[in-house]
Structure 1
């Protein structure tokens, strides 16, 4: 389940129990603590045991390289979240509030975490270093980290399952396409290339975030327009990407409708999006040494057949062929033609199960140690 529009008088509370139907109500939820207490009440109602939890797991966006990929939330983890809050304010600040609320509501309960950069720690140093002063890396942690680790980690394993092949023998390029996007090259189950960098704002264009561009654009506009860092950060996170190009917002469905109605700006936004996804697929192919599979996941990747077709267009030189009927059907699994040398798949990502499995492993380890 989840709660959207937290802090408003009309928060949307969603939940589902097992294979049952998804339920939804609209009600006031003042803050994280109120939302947490509501969630605990619902869990207790379903389980009948007073929400007797063994632990709570968090998916964390960015902690730099200062903490392991998964572990227990402690002072060091909180300090890392605070340090990088200025880098990913949309993610870390609400997370810090949620941790504080959980500690207040359930003091002493073990809290675990999984970091969204952890899957990409296998990149070669040449792949994650920026050509910037070494002191910036040493003192400020400025480097490529990569994001969407939970999704890429899950999809890499799921592709192997769907193909009936060991993950260790596969070269897979994964396109996680949603409101946030990233393209990842995986070889032998390990990440070897990732489009996102120091922040989730880099790489491919996103709904409201720009992806890669010349950093001197920022210094130029700061001087030419007198823009400060707060205003620049706001524009780069909320008014760029597909929204900035199209002028109709960041939802690809709305952009397609505007393009069909004759908007050249909307069509350009689609073209730029596709071009940059293909650009990063090419980069991943260089790192993986070819591809056995190309996987699409995320809200757009899983559900937009036209986008998949656009990205895969003219890739015959790679031996890649789509099956138009399978692609349009949109089911999880193969959407490539039988003769395609590269398997193309749609995969229903499950980031939460990755976080849950990490939490189970950590909590089980504590129990074993206490025996």
Structure 2
């Protein structure tokens, strides 16, 4: 059985697959790690349990995950040896990792060297891998990097116009994120349209609390909105998106803020939350905007405008556009935001059918109008399946066989997931 682990800064998501990836046997979320109100939510075939309990760190979170997978009532395995391979998400692989890799000492050393590129994310990714290696001794671990998909972005798009030595010696460049999601969604889009991905130009709009737009030409990332850190590009839930960097000097030199204060402002107090003054949740912001809250209305308009502008830029960069794709929390669930973004993109050939747009989550991914020359789709992302696919690809066949005498208890009952 293949286990996928996605360690965020304060959460851990996991899914357990059959070895052929045909079934999800169990899945769960451990949230608010290191915070008040932490909880574990585990599901297996219609059974499971959500409980609040202290989760001080990621090591404890993985121990809770294993306890849930082996639980007497809603567990699905008898012992850790039932897990034959583990796939992990890592946010940042620098320019070292251009593909997913099997973990060894050298890989762990390189991962630690990348911590400075993603200080909020990579440490918890590393903690998850280390904990998994202790809990599942001898089981191969595979790391899937969000940045790997964007290693095909050409130099003219990933090198900043700063002194070249900062790029050559210090690795300061655009890296891009949500690559695992983009890779899955771009191939799923080609499959849905029955169109060879090698012949397609598409823009993937990954719209959630974190937001990235990615230009995918022939199945390869050629530009993406988030750059060196994870607050650039278009505005997000609490992150600012791009702004004039001279503002930082003004905040420090004229308003007396520390660099730590500015970092907190850019990552945690900006975006939808910063403009609206209300929330980082698009659902609440759009509801209040409809009720006449002007700052919420402005927050939505800024969000939509910056996304629309980026789509146009990427169409120009690729010299065309065949598909516009929405995914992730906002992209998959907000018909209003999709309508607002697509409005005014008719010059590119983007036109949507409003009736289909309203029911896109009910099995109607293609929301294009009949006369549209660009296909517009809503494609649910599945980073966990992409991680599982790479884990299966990189694990030697002889290691994928469950040891004799080890059972996957409750498997038949868990199948309905």
- Give distance in 2, aligned partners of 1:22 and 1:282: 46
Matched, 1:7 2:34: yes
TM-score by length of 1: 0.93
Q: What secondary structure sits across from 2:240 in the alignment?
A: coil
**8 A contact 2:84–2:399 mirrored in 1:** no
Please identify, of 278-287 and 344-353, the stretch whose mean Cα deviation from structure 2 is larger. Answer: 278-287
Q: What secondary structure sits across from 1:90 in the alignment?
A: coil
**8 A contact 2:202–2:215 mirrored in 1:** yes
Query: Residue 320 of structure 1 corresponds to which residue in structure 2?
Result: 350
Q: What secondary structure sits across from 1:16 in the alignment?
A: strand
Query: Residue 340 of structure 1 corresponds to which residue in structure 2?
Result: 372
* Matching residue within 350, 354, 362 for 2:382: 350
- Counterpart mapping for 1:161-180 below 5 A: 161-180=191-210
Q: What secondary structure sits across from 2:61 in the alignment?
A: helix
* Matching residue within 18, 21, 24 for 2:50: 24
Residue deviations 1:265-290, cap 9 Å, x none?
A: 11111111001101110121012221
Matched, 1:48 2:48: no
Aligned length: 367
Offset, 1:30? 3.2
**8 A contact 2:44–2:76 mirrored in 1:** no
**8 A contact 1:41–1:51 mirrored in 2:** no
Query: Residue 392 of structure 2 corresponds to which residue in structure 1?
Result: 360
Offset, 1:81? 3.7
Query: Residue 243 of structure 1 corresponds to which residue in structure 2?
Result: 273
Query: Residue 59 of structure 2 corresponds to which residue in structure 1?
Result: 33
Offset, 1:128? 0.7
TM-score by length of 2: 0.83
Query: Residue 282 of structure 1 corresponds to which residue in structure 2?
Result: 312
**8 A contact 1:9–1:27 mirrored in 2:** no
Question: Which residues of structure 1 form unaligned runs of 5+?
Answer: none
- Give distance in 2, aligned partners of 1:280 and 1:181: 12
- Give distance in 2, aligned partners of 1:242 and 1:85: 27
User: Using a 3 Å threshold, how does the CA distance of structure 1 residues 151 and 353 change in structure 2: closer, same or farther?
Assistant: same
User: Using a 3 Å threshold, how does the CA distance of structure 1 residues 284 and 257 change in structure 2: closer, same or farther?
Assistant: same
* Matching residue within 156, 174, 182 for 1:144: 174
Offset, 1:97? 2.4
User: Using a 3 Å threshold, how does the CA distance of structure 1 residues 8 and 167 change in structure 2: closer, same or farther?
Assistant: same
Q: What secondary structure sits across from 1:15 in the alignment?
A: strand
**8 A contact 1:67–1:77 mirrored in 2:** no
Offset, 1:362? 1.2
State the superposition RMSD in angstroms.
2.0
Q: Between Structure 1 and Structure 2, which shows a larger proportion of helix residues?
A: 1
- Counterpart mapping for 1:1-371 below 5 A: 1-8=28-35, 10-17=37-44, 20=46, 23-45=49-71, 46-52=75-81, 53-331=83-361, 332=363, 333-364=365-396, 367=399
Question: Which residues of structure 2 form unaligned runs of 5+?
Answer: 1-27, 401-417
Offset, 1:42? 2.2
Please identify, of 243-252 and 95-104, the stretch whose mean Cα deviation from structure 2 is larger. Answer: 95-104
**8 A contact 1:334–1:343 mirrored in 2:** yes
